[in-house]
Amino acid sequence: MGFFDKLVGEFIDIIEWLDDSNDTMVHRFERYGNEIKNGAQLTVRESQVAVFVNEGKIADVFQPGRYKLETANLPVLSTLQGWKYGFSSPFKAEVYFVNTKRFTDFKWGTKNPIMLRDADFGPVRLRAFGSYCLKVSDAPLFLKEIVGTDGDFSSDEIASQLRNIVVARFSDALGEAKIPVLDLASNYDELGDFINNKIAPEFQEYGLELSKLLVENISLPKAVEEAIDKRSSMGVIGDLNKYTQFQAANSMEAAANNPGGTAAGGMGMGMGFAMANQMGQSMGGQQTQQAPAQQTATPPPLPSSVTFFMAVNGAQTGPFDTNTLSQKATSGELKRETLVWKEGMAAWTAAGEVAELSNLFAQVPPPIPM
C-alpha cells in the first residue's frame, strides 16, 4: 500500500459514541485535530442526537440513523465553509453527542422549612422532598445555554440549579394552593402535576423537558406531629368517662395482684380504691340520670367515723379511727411525717398535712430540749 493510500486510510472515519455511564448528558467526540474526511460514516443511536459545531457556531444536527457525511447532508456546514460545489478534503468540526434519554431520580428537597398559615393549626412550618425526571428536548439550545464547551457534561453539574428552581416554585405553589395540612397527603399527585406545569416552561428555556415531578413527603416539625398524635389518641379513646372506668378497673386488678405488706402495695391498693370509688360515683350518677327520682321513707345510714391506714416501717397497718390515732400521736407512734391514707385520697400523705389529723399534733408536747 502506497503512502497516499495510507494517508487516505487515516482520514476515513467512523464517528459514533457508546455510552457506558448512567449520568453523561453530553459527550464530545474526540479525535486529533477534529479532522473529518468527506464520506466518513456517522452513526447516531436511539436516544442520541449528534450536533456539529464549526468555529464556535452550531451547524448541522443529526437524529438517530447512519449517515455518510457529504455536502448533501451537511447543508449548514457547507454554507459556513463555502463549499458551493462540494468538497473532497478533510474538514474540521466538533461533534457533540447529546443523550436524549430520560434521566430519572433527580432529588429535590427543602433546605429550610416553609412557613405557611393553616386553617386548623395556624402558622406552621413544613418540609418537603421528592424526585423528578427530565430529558433533553432541544439539543442545540441545551448546548448553547448550559453545556458550552464542556467535553463531558454529566447530570450532577446541573442538578443543583434545577433543584433550586423546583424548591422555589414548589414553595410558591404550596402557598397559593391553600390546602389544609391534614389534606396534603391526599393531594400529592395533584400538587405534583400543578407544580410540573408551572416549572416546565423554565426547564424549556434550557432545552430540557420536565417529564414527571413527584412529591414523596410533606412533614411537620416533630413537636407538632407529637401534638397531633396526642389529639388523635383522644379521638380514639372516645367517651372519656368510659375510658376512666376502664382504667380504674385495670388499676384495681393490678392492686389486687400486687403483694401486700409493702408501702408500694398499700399505695397501689389505695389508688385502686380511690379510682373504684370514682367509678362507682360516676356509674351511680349515670343511673340517677337514667332512672326517675323516687321518694323513699328510708333514712340514710348514720355517718361512720373516718379511718386511716398508717405506714409503719414500710408496712401498711390499720385501719384506725381518730381516737386510736390520737393515742398513737400521744405515744409518739404517729408523727407528723408518718404517711397515712384513707378512702378517697389519691396517694399516701404525711399526717401533718391532712386536715383531719393536724389537730392531733397540737396536743402533743414538743420534744425535751437536749
pLDDT of residue 299: 66
Over 90: is that where the pLDDT of 49 sits? yes
Report the alpha-carbon distance of residue 184 to residue 170 in Å, rounded.
Answer: 13
pLDDT at 112 over 90: no
**Residue 367, domain member (yes or no):** no
> Would you list the DSSP string of 165-181?
HHHHHHHHHHHHH---G
pLDDT at 85: 61
Residue-averaged pLDDT of the chain: 78
In a domain, 152, yes or no: yes
Shared domain for 209 and 243, answered yes or no, is: no
Q: Are 28 and 152 in contact (CB under 8 A)?
A: yes
pTM: 0.57
Q: pLDDT tens digits, residue range 345-362?
A: 888 888 888 877 777 777
Q: Which of 71, 99, 127 is the last residue of a domain?
A: 99
The whole-number pLDDT of residue 9 equals 44
Look up cell 423537558; give the residue: 209
Does residue 298 belong to any structural domain of this protein? no
Are 108 and 174 in the same domain?
A: yes
For residue 174, the domain's CATH number is: 3.30.479.30
- List Cα–Cα distances, 340 to 254, 301, 319, 329, in angstroms: 21, 26, 10, 13
**Given this model, what pLDDT does residue 17 score?**
93
- Residues 178 and 87 both lie in one domain: no
pLDDT at position 270: 55
| DSSP secondary structure string for all residues of 13-38 | -EE------SSEEEEEE--GGGEE-T
In a domain, 233, yes or no: no
CA distance 350 to 261: 19
Half-sphere exposure in the Cβ direction for 312 (13 Å, CA): 13
CB–CB of 51/26 below 8 Å?
Answer: no
The DSSP line for 289-342 is: HHSPP----PPPPPPPPPEEEEEETTEEEEEEEHHHHHHHHHHTSS-TT-EEE-
For residues 93 and 116, state if they share a domain: no
Q: For residues 270 and 166, state if they share a domain.
A: no
Distance CA 217, CA 100 (A): 29
In a domain, 300, yes or no: no
What phi and psi, each to the nearest 5 degrees, are found at residue 205?
A: -65, -20
Calculate mean pLDDT across residues 251-274.
Answer: 58
Partners of 210 in the beta sheet?
A: 134
pLDDT tens readout for residues 282-321: 555 554 454 444 455 666 655 556 788 888 887 888 788 8
- The answer as to whether 220 is a domain residue is yes
116 and 153 both lie in a single domain: yes
pLDDT of residue 282: 53
- Strand runs labelled E in the chain: 14-15, 24-29, 35-36, 41-44, 48-54, 57-62, 65-68, 91-92, 94-99, 103-109, 114-118, 122-136, 152-154, 208-219, 307-312, 315-321, 339-341, 349-350
The reply to whether 291 falls in a domain is: no
Domain count, the chain: 4
Amino acid 50: pLDDT = 95
Task: Let me know if residue 11 belongs to a domain.
Answer: yes
Q: pLDDT tens, 52-101?
A: 998 888 989 999 999 998 877 787 877 777 766 666 677 888 899 999 99
Q: Which of the listed residues 176, 199, 225 is the one where a domain comes to its end?
A: 225
Summarize pLDDT for 130-167 with one digit per residue, the tens.
Answer: 999 999 999 999 999 999 888 899 999 999 999 999 99
Helices and strands (DSSP H and E) totals, the chain: 10, 18
Co-location of 107 and 213 in the same domain: yes
- Residues 167, 210, single domain; the answer is yes
CATH code of the domain in which 328 resides: 3.30.1490.40
| Domain region containing 280 | 239-285
167-226 pLDDT, tens digit per residue, is: 988 888 888 888 888 888 888 888 888 888 888 999 999 999 998 888 888 888 787 777
